Amino acid sequence: MELNVYLAGEIHTDWRDAIIAACGGLGIEWSGPVTDHAASDDCGVEIFGAEANKFWHDRKGALLNAVRTRTALERCDVLVVCFGEKYKQWNAAFDAGYAAALGKPIIVLHAPEHDHALKEVDAAANAVARTPDEVARALRYVTAAKL
């Protein structure tokens, strides 16, 4: 089985690389957000012009990033969404909600200490993983029917 997997969530660790490496040889096409934090924050003003007010600066970037995110989420077969330790990933929760509204299967990745804060996201998911290896093993099972 071939899959398009969107990797949403925190951009400060190498969890995406770990999953992709562990899924080598599987029929998976990967997509995800722009992980260059500065490019993601500043894309709107770099393309459409500067804004004196930070609200409008951020809004231009968010609207442009939404073009990429919405398109990729609509095309994906499975969403993997990672909630990291250091920052609150409000955008990741939004991506999970959007994917749930589209009826997409969701695999959530987060540490046990976030169980309570993410209980609604976890309830909408098909699986909750604790490590990138668990995500990779789940994707291997889904694509190749192998444990």
3-32+72-144 folds as Rossmann fold (3.40.50)
Give me the pLDDT at residue 121, please.
97
First-to-last alpha carbon distance for the chain, in angstroms, is 15
Q: What pTM did the predictor assign? A: 0.95
Give me the residue spans of the domains in the chain. Answer: 3-32+72-144
pLDDT in tens, 49-60: 999 999 999 999
**87 CB-side CA count, 13 A:** 11
Q: What angle do CA 136, 137, 142 make, to 5 degrees?
A: 95
